[in-house]
Chains A and B, each alone.
Chain A
Amino acid sequence: MKVTHPESLIFWSIIVFIILFVLLRKYAWKPILGAVKSREASINKALDTAEEARKELQNLQADNEKLLKEARAERDAMIKEAREIKDKMITDAKGQAQVEADKMIQQARQSIDSEKQAALADLKNQVASLSVEIAEKVIKRELSSNDRQLKLVDDMLDEVTLN
């Protein structure tokens, strides 16, 4: 194959190629590549943001979970404490009541005792005065005559045996 007039195609190829290159570079390739690049950047950014949001959500969820767990534990602890307090209060109340009751019983017993003592003492006094009155009357009657006074002395002297 014979190449004819090479200068025409060389000349025009260079001219047309340069014009085409300059025009396309300015009006096509740069805007297209720029747009593609910026879109890629924005997609990447969006993905990153989404990923971050997802992570944050996860963290939030974890936090919530933790908070819930804590709240539950706290509630459990509170219930337990309340129960303990209740039990303690009951026990305490029971103990106190017992003590009080014991004390009351004790007091009652003491007062009964003292009443009893008082009653006994009263009884003794009355018995003693009665005895003395009786003795007085008996003695008065015994010692109303000389005979009887002498007899008594005799009896008593009899009793007092010399040993």
Chain B
Amino acid sequence: MASFATTAQEHEDTHNEEAAEEAFDPTELIDHHTKDSHEFHIVGSVSMPLPVILWTDNGLVTFMSSAFHHDEEGKVVVERNGMKFVRVHDEIYYTNADGGVTYDEEHHPTNERPLNFSITKNVFTLMLTSILMLVIFIPVARSYKRNERAPKGLAAFMEPLVVFVRDDIAKPNIGEKKYEKFMPYLLTVFFLIWIGNLFGLIPFFPFQGTLTNDIIFTGVLATITFLITIFNGNKHYWGHIFATPGVPKWLLPIMIPVEVLGMFTKPFALMIRLFANITAGHIIILSLVSLIFIFKSVAVAPISIAFSLFMYVLELLVAALQAYVFTLLSALFIGQAVEAHH
């Protein structure tokens, strides 16, 4: 008992020392947890290295991110194919002539950088999510071949969700006649976002990474919705943009830019909404946990944990809600593009 207390005391001491060494910076912690990375942090100082894939001036260069030894300050130089690379805050640069990093006044590196196609944490999470989806849905689909009666097992759980997407998202927004063509896209997006969101809420390896708090990923999804919208837009849709019915001719020079802008604001809103909702949730949870370290008091922990728990439960709802909203709005935009003239 005594030894345990001593250990605890020691632990606290070391912690205090660490805290003294470098002041706790919640912004950095939150940034670290919400942004992409070349490594997958597991626990403590243990990380899973991920492949770095660079398209350099001399062609493709690949190596594991462990080559940087967790360095983010440009101190470790990795030499491959006669080129030297350093990593500064998750970005990989060529070294300058001195073999180091040149910074501008705002402490941003000014070095050239190769195109980076690394399997980062978010890419890894995306792949994992995709594999999970395949593992879930392909057997579900197979089960229908064996069982033509009421669904059983996993199929019984997934089918209402699929039917929900069909009956409550696709049909009312796209219309009975045309919805079928867009069902695969809507289902893929719905489950990818939902499972992706849920992955982010599982706080241990190999989940942890949140696809949907990366604006790039939400941007890609929004762009796909946008492309589907414009490629399926019928005469009526384009007519509405370039010759808005019921608007006097002389107003068209104003209306056309507004309508064209409207085409882009819709997917833009999709991108921001999903990104912001998920990121905000994560930031709140991380902030609540950070409070313990800001106040340097265990007494804050119960409050922090209670609020975090509340936020977690809320996030569970938001995870499904945002998947629903994204899919619903995608269906709505597609519906507007394909709707028959009335």
Q: SS class of chain B's interface: helix, strand, loop or mixed?
A: helix
Apart from A5-B120, A21-B184, A33-B183, 13 more pairs, CB < 8 Å: A1-B34, A5-B91, A9-B214, A12-B126, A13-B126, A21-B188, A23-B138, A28-B137, A32-B158, A32-B159, A33-B166, A35-B145, A36-B166
Bound-state CA distance A72–B142 (Å) is 61
Interface residues, chain B, with chain A CB atoms under 8 Å away: 31, 34-36, 53, 89-92, 113, 115-120, 122-123, 126-127, 130, 133-134, 137-138, 140-142, 144-145, 148, 155, 158-159, 162-163, 166, 180, 183-185, 187-188, 192, 214-217, 219-221, 224, 279
User: In the assembled complex, which residues on chain A have CB atoms less than 8 Å from the CB atom of B91?
Assistant: 4-5
Kindly state whether residue A7 has any CB partner on chain B within 8 Å.
yes
Q: How far is the CB of B13 from chain A (nearest CB, A)?
A: 34
Contact of A20 among B53, B120, B192, B219 (CB under 8 A): B192
**A9 x B120 contact (CB < 8 A):** yes
**A39 x B148 contact (CB < 8 A):** yes
**B36 x A36 contact (CB < 8 A):** no
Interface residues, chain A, with chain B CB atoms under 8 Å away: 1-14, 16-17, 19-21, 23-25, 27-36, 39
Nearest CB in chain A to that of B191: its residue: A24
User: In the assembled complex, which residues on chain B have CB atoms less than 8 Å from the CB atom of A20?
Assistant: 130, 133-134, 188, 192
**B162 x A13 contact (CB < 8 A):** no
Known: A5-B116, A27-B141, A31-B145. A17 touches B36 (CB 8 A): no
Nearest CB in chain A to that of B55: its residue: A7
Q: How far is the CB of B9 from chain A (nearest CB, A)?
A: 38
Bound-state CA distance A16–B91 (Å) is 22
Bound-state CA distance A10–B122 (Å) is 11
**A3 x B216 contact (CB < 8 A):** yes
**B187 x A29 contact (CB < 8 A):** yes
Q: How far is the CB of B37 from chain A (nearest CB, A)?
A: 9
User: In the assembled complex, which residues on chain A have CB atoms less than 8 Å from the CB atom of B123?
Assistant: 8-9, 12-13, 16
Nearest CB in chain B to that of A28: its residue: B137
Bound-state CA distance A116–B37 (Å) is 156
Q: How far is the CB of B152 from chain A (nearest CB, A)?
A: 13
User: In the assembled complex, which residues on chain A have CB atoms less than 8 Å from the CB atom of B217?
Assistant: 9, 13
Bound-state CA distance A23–B133 (Å) is 10
**A17 x B137 contact (CB < 8 A):** no
User: In the assembled complex, which residues on chain A have CB atoms less than 8 Å from the CB atom of B155?
Assistant: 32
Bound-state CA distance A32–B133 (Å) is 14
**A10 x B216 contact (CB < 8 A):** yes
Q: How far is the CB of A75 from chain B (nearest CB, A)?
A: 51
User: In the assembled complex, which residues on chain B have CB atoms less than 8 Å from the CB atom of A34?
Assistant: 144
User: In the assembled complex, which residues on chain B have CB atoms less than 8 Å from the CB atom of A39?
Assistant: 148
Contact of A36 among B89, B92, B163 (CB under 8 A): B163
**B188 x A29 contact (CB < 8 A):** yes
**A16 x B141 contact (CB < 8 A):** no
**A4 x B162 contact (CB < 8 A):** no
Q: How far is the CB of B174 from chain A (nearest CB, A)?
A: 14
User: In the assembled complex, which residues on chain A have CB atoms less than 8 Å from the CB atom of B148?
Assistant: 35, 39
The 10 closest A-B pairs by CB, nearest first: A35-B144, A28-B137, A5-B116, A25-B184, A31-B141, A13-B220, A12-B123, A9-B216, A20-B130, A29-B184
Nearest CB in chain A to that of B30: its residue: A1
User: In the assembled complex, which residues on chain A have CB atoms less than 8 Å from the CB atom of B214?
Assistant: 9
**A28 x B140 contact (CB < 8 A):** yes
Q: How far is the CB of B64 from chain A (nearest CB, A)?
A: 15
Known: A9-B123, A33-B183. A14 touches B220 (CB 8 A): yes
